[in-house]
Amino acid sequence: MAITYNSQSRIFKLDTDHTTYLMGLTSEGYLGHIYYGPRMEHEAGTAPFRLPEFPSPSMLRREKIAFLAGFPFEYPTAGVGDYRESCLDVVGKDGAPGVELFFDSCSIEDGKPALEGLPASFAGDETAVKTLKIVLKDPVLGLRVTLLYSVFPAEDVITRSVLLENESPDALHVRRVLSMGMDMDNRDFEMMGLFGCWARERHPERISLHHGKQVLSSQRGVSSPQESPFMAILTPEATQTQGEVYGMSLVYSGNFEACADVSMYDSVRLVMGINPENFDWLLTPGSTFTAPEVVMTYSGSGLDRMTLSFHHFFRDHLIRNPYRGKLRPVLINNWEGTTFHFDEEKLYQIAKDAHGFGMDMFVMDDGWFGLRNDDDHGLGDWEVNENKLHGGLDALVRRVKALGMKFGIWIEPEMVNEDSDLYRAHPDWAIRLNGRDPSRGRNQLVLDVSRKEVRDHIMDQILKVFHGTSIDYVKWDMNRYLSDLESSSLPADRQGELSHRFVLGVYAMQQRLLDEMPGLLFENCSSGGARFDAGMLFYSPQIWTSDDTDAIERLKIQEGTAMVFPITTMGAHVSLCPNDQVGRTTPFETRANVALAGTFGYELVLSDLPDDERALIRKQIEHYHQFHMLNEEGDYYRLNSWSGDRLYDCWMVASPDKKEALVTYVQVLGRPNWRSTAIRLKGLDPDQLYTIRLVSGSVKKGPQHSSADQDMDKLFQTECRGDELMNIGLYIPALKDFESLLIHVYA
């Protein structure tokens, strides 16, 4: 049984294949956390809590505050004496704060319920997944709180979310409702987050926990590139392959908070959910509120295991798009090549050129609508600009399709430029503070898509264009953060709902797009990768990872992203050098080898490439066709990180049947007078005899002698057993700066 409740001991036990999660009730009905870690066959004994030290209120009423300050609450509440970070803070009719929750009932069901209006994982096989609902109540507020736990045994994942219901005759103000809490004893834990900014998204960052609160969060209205809605808590010895790791990922695309609060007793409280900052939800009598889902996993063998559990889970239980598990079209996108400066002939030539190299899809990026000839104008006016696309969009789509290519298009539905017909007609549709000059980002304002009439107007316009022709792929962009949070449609006591309502509005719009265009390949994007989160993956099977397409910068960005998300969810393109962001020149092969990890494409004008680079494109596309399904279904392992030793990056993907693997090695900094480096592979069959073949290598013949000057192919035409490759290693010859190798290992 994946979930049991022992009504004698009043202990809940949740089991996955390799982990166990335990909670228990005190005699008063407080729900406490007992354990999360390696699987245990037996439930906890009779004294799972430290009650003799801090007796619970029914045993020692005069010291209730000492109990509340130390008890390991499963879902901690604010205002009554637990001073650590809380999950729930509600204000009643008299304006005073304070929530206290007591057990009411519980039930265990097959499958997993959907969460209304929110992205959420699904069971697939309803019998393989079980859901526990624990109902807690605050009798004073008349508040019913249902904690939902769904157990996915094979993936070692437990998901959590929370449902609030106001059972009182009075309105309640919910000032904080997080999705999970968990209290554990500190084991010198460290915290891993994904830090960044535009063009430097999701760099892994690891710190030691100290007393007090360590918070990862966003208040930007999107999950943001600054911090990601992901947190891992690790024991200090944890590496890729050893040590304990607790991973948490929030299925949400807006403001979030993830906090580790280390108490005076050296316990660690972990919480995660919607950021309480700027949040205030009016819960009218009889109404409900659903908090987004957290995906939790525990690994007793380092980060690799955590990553694999997340990857398997997101692939099989979150991504719904029909392209999941399939080859994606190799695309050519015109953005870095033309920006806003194109007409239909220029675009057609780009597509034609790309088709000549075997590319499958042309994507027309920003600039095809309204008066969008730069980024100051036109957002909000979703009508084809026929001064640029003479003859209309359908004519261009037909020409491109006549080549045998698919057609993709860019949109940014959540935004408006003040210089647009939409803004002139509906200035009140923008989010802005009454009487203040609003902050602009890229000279645009954010549309209040919490309003149904705004959503309907924008989507009607966009879908009219799409239905007038034949679109295969949509890239949905979002290029500024939210600020000036006021909606002209919300009453004063509901303004605190705007940020969350905005996110729900975005989800509703994306769902409508998918409902009306069922076979669509959909890609999310936000100024590069500012909204790369599990919420977005529910709608699109791929997300643009970063506007930084420099192959070396991408290594860190893709390492951090792939720590949580399946690698083929990462939009990755080959672009021109010197690179736009950093001015670096990297070998064309390296740019392709790095992009091959994700959804593959080119973002340039092909005729700008030198002949020797153009000559490589067909082979690169062949590599994508050969290896995408391995990347899509295989197990990803991080073998080295250049952000650690500054020298080289290396990762691999092994097929589930262990019959083949693809190893990518990138030398960031070459070392003079160096010999080969042995890389220990992972995830292979120790007894299997493998052939090792160099697929692609960017190796310059240099004046300096190195093994790289030898015939590279010969170095890899060897056979090795899996145990040799995993214990002795695969020898990588000395390479020079930015050179890279793609190596196929197969039975």
- Is residue 224 near ligand DGJ by the rule CB under 6 A? no
From the CA atom positions of the chain, what is the Rg in Å? 27
Find the shortest distance in angstroms from Cβ 447 to ligand DGJ: 16
Asked if 160 contacts 131 with a C-beta cutoff of 8 angstroms, the reply is: no
Q: Which of 547, 550, 635, 649 is catalytic?
A: 547
Residue range at the interface with ligand DGJ (CB under 6 A); choices 427-435, 525-533, 695-703, 729-737: 525-533
Question: Torsion angle of alpha carbons 194, 196, 199, 203, nearest 10°?
Answer: -40
For residue 117, CA distances in Å to 504, 541, 673 come to 6, 19, 60
Residue range at the interface with ligand DGJ (CB under 6 A); choices 3-11, 174-182, 521-529, 579-587: 521-529
Find the shortest distance in angstroms from Cβ 591 to ligand DGJ: 16
Find the shortest distance in angstroms from Cβ 477 to ligand DGJ: 5
Asked if 569 contacts 319 with a C-beta cutoff of 8 angstroms, the reply is: yes
Find the shortest distance in angstroms from Cβ 527 to ligand DGJ: 5
456-495 positions binding ligand DGJ, by CB under 6 A: 477, 479
Find the shortest distance in angstroms from Cβ 547 to ligand DGJ: 5
Q: Which of 89, 183, 477, 635 is catalytic?
A: 477
Find the shortest distance in angstroms from Cβ 367 to ligand DGJ: 8
Q: What phi-psi label fits residue 447: left (phi over 0), alpha (psi between -120 and 50 degrees) or beta?
A: beta
Residue range at the interface with ligand DGJ (CB under 6 A); choices 42-50, 312-320, 488-496, 523-531: 523-531
Pick from 377, 671, 411, 600: nearest CA to 524: 411
Question: Torsion angle of alpha carbons 83, 283, 32, 250, nearest 10°?
Answer: -90
The residue (of 502 and 544) whose beta carbon lies closer to ligand DGJ is 544
301-360 positions binding ligand DGJ, by CB under 6 A: 335
The residue (of 500 and 573) whose beta carbon lies closer to ligand DGJ is 573
Per-residue contact string for residues 363-402; x = within reach of ligand DGJ by CB under 6 A: --xx------------------------------------
Find the shortest distance in angstroms from Cβ 269 to ligand DGJ: 37
- Is residue 410 near ligand DGJ by the rule CB under 6 A? yes
Asked if 627 contacts 327 with a C-beta cutoff of 8 angstroms, the reply is: no
DSSP β-ladder status, 542-544 and 406-411: unpaired
Question: Torsion angle of alpha carbons 610, 616, 617, 621, nearest 10°?
Answer: -170
> Residue 110 belongs to what H/E stretch?
strand 102-110
Q: Is 614 exposed, middle or buried (0-12, 13-18, 19+ CB in 10 A)?
A: middle
533 as an active site residue: the answer is no
Find the shortest distance in angstroms from Cβ 507 to ligand DGJ: 20
The residue (of 340 and 746) whose beta carbon lies closer to ligand DGJ is 340
Alpha carbons 463 and 389: distance in angstroms, whole number: 18
CA dihedral (118, 126, 299, 147) positive or negative: positive
The residue (of 382 and 410) whose beta carbon lies closer to ligand DGJ is 410
The residue (of 544 and 690) whose beta carbon lies closer to ligand DGJ is 544
Find the shortest distance in angstroms from Cβ 452 to ligand DGJ: 27
For the record, the structure tokens of 644 come out as 């650690």
> Of all residues in this chain, which one has the CB nearest to ligand DGJ in the complex?
366
Find the shortest distance in angstroms from Cβ 366 to ligand DGJ: 4
Q: What phi-psi label fits residue 212: left (phi over 0), alpha (psi between -120 and 50 degrees) or beta?
A: left
Number of residues that bind ligand DGJ (CB under 6 A): 11
Residue range at the interface with ligand DGJ (CB under 6 A); choices 155-163, 287-295, 522-530, 699-707: 522-530
Asked if 520 contacts 472 with a C-beta cutoff of 8 angstroms, the reply is: yes
For residue 578, cis peptide bond before it (omega within 30 degrees of 0)? yes
- Helices of type H across 239-343: 302-317, 335-338
Residue range at the interface with ligand DGJ (CB under 6 A); choices 93-101, 130-138, 301-309, 520-528: 520-528
Q: In degrees rounded to 5, what are phi and psi of residue 453?
A: -65, -30
- Is residue 532 near ligand DGJ by the rule CB under 6 A? no
| Options 466, 544, 588, 602; binder of ligand DGJ; rule CB under 6 A | 544
Residue range at the interface with ligand DGJ (CB under 6 A); choices 19-27, 524-532, 551-559, 583-591: 524-532
- Is residue 527 near ligand DGJ by the rule CB under 6 A? yes
477 as an active site residue: the answer is yes
CA angle 375-376-381, nearest 5°?
A: 85
Bridge partners (DSSP) listed for residue 191: 207, 233
105-124 positions binding ligand DGJ, by CB under 6 A: none
The residue (of 154 and 582) whose beta carbon lies closer to ligand DGJ is 582
The residue (of 22 and 525) whose beta carbon lies closer to ligand DGJ is 525
- Is residue 525 near ligand DGJ by the rule CB under 6 A? yes
Find the shortest distance in angstroms from Cβ 531 to ligand DGJ: 10
The residue (of 48 and 337) whose beta carbon lies closer to ligand DGJ is 337
Bridge partners (DSSP) listed for residue 409: 364, 474
Asked if 707 contacts 734 with a C-beta cutoff of 8 angstroms, the reply is: yes
Q: In degrees rounded to 5, what are phi and psi of residue 625?
A: -65, -35
Bridge partners (DSSP) listed for residue 579: none
For residue 294, CA distances in Å to 158, 291, 310 come to 8, 9, 12
For the record, the structure tokens of 57 come out as 């209120």
Alpha carbons 739 and 590: distance in angstroms, whole number: 6
The residue (of 410 and 665) whose beta carbon lies closer to ligand DGJ is 410
- Known catalytic residues are 477, 547
Site for ligand DGJ, rule CB under 6 A: 335, 365-366, 410, 477, 479, 525, 527-528, 544, 547
